[in-house]
């Protein structure tokens, strides 16, 4: 069982279907991206994602090379004219801010780097003359969920961990972007949902221009073909059980937090604003954590070492982890409790 934050666990039957697309004769890897077959695939992929995620028609869906980190650059290059606002709620929103500073004036509107697990001073309402305000909805390293924001200028959201996990109300955002490696397959591609009437800058190189990528349907150059096939296969698979998916994702997190709150060996790091994708926790000592990680390895439980910035432990639920796997994980952790002391 894989509980990594990303690249995350995939669905085995979807992976088999991907192999079939590769093995066909001609293979999808051998077809021109201008061919009818590929154009049909692209259209069907967009239609399926639109239906699955309830993406409004006013937004275009783009498949852009590079992970979410590339969007940290594309956003200011396309949208930063006078000034932008950034909310720093974790490592990735800080990286987005750092990247944008090279291209214009960026104001930090909120920064909880000193207390990353606490949002009690979060602004909630932001007004001002910003070209855009950037935020990250789920902070995958700390395992926190950023509170909702009301804002009178276009909000740009990093939805990397959230896409496919929780319902996103796209009407609140000017642009949303997600690294495909979390829930939609292969690393190295971003899914971008961009409002067609945003106030784009002119004179941007076509490869990195949202406007020109929209006009060319993500085909300014040869696109990441296999990543698009995979995103389509995942979206199609999830669409068959659309109503269940969001419910199950919530259930998985609820079950796990309920377990964490019920004992004293594995201590949750987040009390309020808990992420439903990334659950962070610690043990009494680093030695205990290392021993527990060894036990996990022996039992084929993979990917729960915390990020190097925070240390400790982190269990991440991709959309493809099943409720049964979460039960199995809890059962395993429960069976380990007697191995660790909780008293001083």
Ligand X SMILES: Cc1ncc(COP(=O)(O)O)c(C=O)c1O
Query: Which region among 99-107, 157-165, 233-241, 318-326 touches ligand X (by CB under 6 A)?
Result: 157-165
Q: Which stretch binds ligand X (CB under 6 A): 61-69, 99-107, 144-152, 289-297?
A: 61-69
Query: From CA 144, how far away is CA 88, in angstroms rounded?
Result: 12
Q: Which tokens sit at 44?
A: 């069907």
Does the N-terminal peptide bond of residue 7 adopt cis geometry, omega within 30 degrees of 0?
A: yes
Measured from the CB atom, is 230 or 333 closer to ligand X?
230
Strand ranges, E, within 38-154: 59-65, 83-88, 105-111, 125-126, 133-136, 138-139, 144-145, 150-151
> Nearest distance from residue 146's CB to ligand X, in Å?
10
Strand partners, 114: none
Q: Tell me how far, at minimum, the Cβ of 208 lies from ligand X, in Å.
A: 15
Among 1, 3, 6, 151, binds ligand X (CB under 6 A): 6
In the complex with ligand X, the residue whose CB is nearer, 17 or 179, is 179
Least distance in angstroms from the C-beta of 205 to ligand X:
20
Closest approach of Cβ 67 to ligand X, in Å?
A: 2
Burial class of residue 277 in the structure, from the number of CB atoms within 10 Å of its CB (0-12 exposed, 13-18 middle, 19+ buried): buried
Among 41, 45, 61, 67, binds ligand X (CB under 6 A): 67
Rule CB under 6 A: is residue 75 a binding residue for ligand X?
no
Tell me the closest approach of the beta carbon of residue 101 to ligand X, in angstroms: 17
Distance in Å, CB of 54 to ligand X, minimum: 21
Return d(Cα 297, Cα 143) in angstroms, integer: 22
∠ at Cα 224 (218, 227), nearest 5°? 110
Closest to ligand X by CB, 135 or 233: 135
| Spatial contact of 215 and 197, defined as CB atoms under 8 Å apart | no
Residue 78 CB, nearest distance to ligand X (Å)?
17
Taking CB under 6 A as the rule, does residue 92 contact ligand X?
yes
Exactly one of 17, 160, 183, 249 binds ligand X (CB under 6 A); that residue is 160
Among 75, 77, 126, 136, binds ligand X (CB under 6 A): 136
- Nearest residue to ligand X, scored by beta-carbon proximity: 67
Residue 340's nearest CA partner among 313, 303, 310 is: 313
Calpha distance 174→75 (Å, rounded): 11
Q: Does 89 bind ligand X (CB under 6 A)?
A: no
Size of the site for ligand X (CB under 6 A): 14
Does 161 engage in binding with ligand X (CB under 6 A)?
yes
Residue 318 makes contact with ligand X by CB under 6 A: no
Nearer to ligand X, 67 or 174 (CB): 67
277 close to 138: Cβ distance less than 8 angstroms: yes
CA 127 to the chain's CA centroid: 27
Q: At what angle do helices 242-261 and 323-336 cross, to 10 degrees?
A: 10
Binding residues (CB under 6 A) for ligand X: these are: 5-6, 67-69, 92, 136, 140, 158, 160-161, 179, 181, 187
């Amino acid at each position: 069982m894989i509980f990594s934050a990303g690249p995350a666990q995939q669905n085995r039957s979807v992976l088999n279907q991907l192999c079939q697309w590769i093995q066909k004769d001609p293979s999808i890897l051998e077809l021109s991206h201008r061919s009818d077959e590929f154009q049909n695939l692209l259209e069907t992929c967009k239609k399926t994602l639109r239906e699955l995620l309830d993406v409004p028609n006013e937004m275009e869906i783009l498949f852009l090379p590079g992970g979410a980190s590339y969007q940290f650059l594309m956003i200011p290059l396309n949208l930063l004219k006078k000034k932008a606002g950034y909310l720093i709620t974790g490592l990735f929103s800080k990286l987005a801010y750092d990247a944008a500073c090279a291209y214009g004036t960026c104001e930090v509107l909120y920064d909880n780097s000193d207390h990353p697990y606490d949002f009690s001073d979060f602004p909630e309402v932001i007004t001002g003359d910003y070209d855009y305000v950037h935020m990250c909805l789920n902070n995958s390293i700390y395992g926190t969920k950023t509170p909702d924001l009301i804002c009178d200028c276009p909000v740009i959201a990093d939805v990397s961990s959230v896409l496919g996990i929780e319902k996103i109300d796209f009407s609140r955002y000017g642009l949303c972007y997600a690294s495909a490696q979390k829930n939609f397959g292969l690393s190295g591609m971003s899914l971008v949902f961009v409002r067609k009437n945003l106030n784009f800058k002119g004179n941007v190189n076509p490869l990195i221009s949202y406007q020109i990528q929209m006009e060319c349907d993500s085909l300014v150059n040869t696109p990441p073909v296999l990543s698009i096939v995979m995103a389509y296969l995942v979206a199609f698979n999830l669409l068959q059980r659309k109503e269940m998916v969001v419910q199950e994702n919530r259930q998985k997190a609820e079950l796990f937090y309920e377990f964490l709150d019920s004992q004293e060996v594995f201590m949750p790091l987040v009390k309020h604003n808990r992420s439903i994708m990334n659950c962070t926790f610690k043990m009494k000592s680093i030695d205990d954590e290392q021993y527990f990680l060894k036990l996990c390895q022996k039992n084929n439980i993979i990917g729960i070492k915390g990020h190097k910035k925070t240390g400790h432990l982190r269990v991440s639920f991709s959309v493809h982890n099943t409720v049964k796997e979460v039960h199995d994980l809890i059962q395993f952790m429960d069976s380990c409790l007697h191995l660790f002391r909780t008293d001083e």
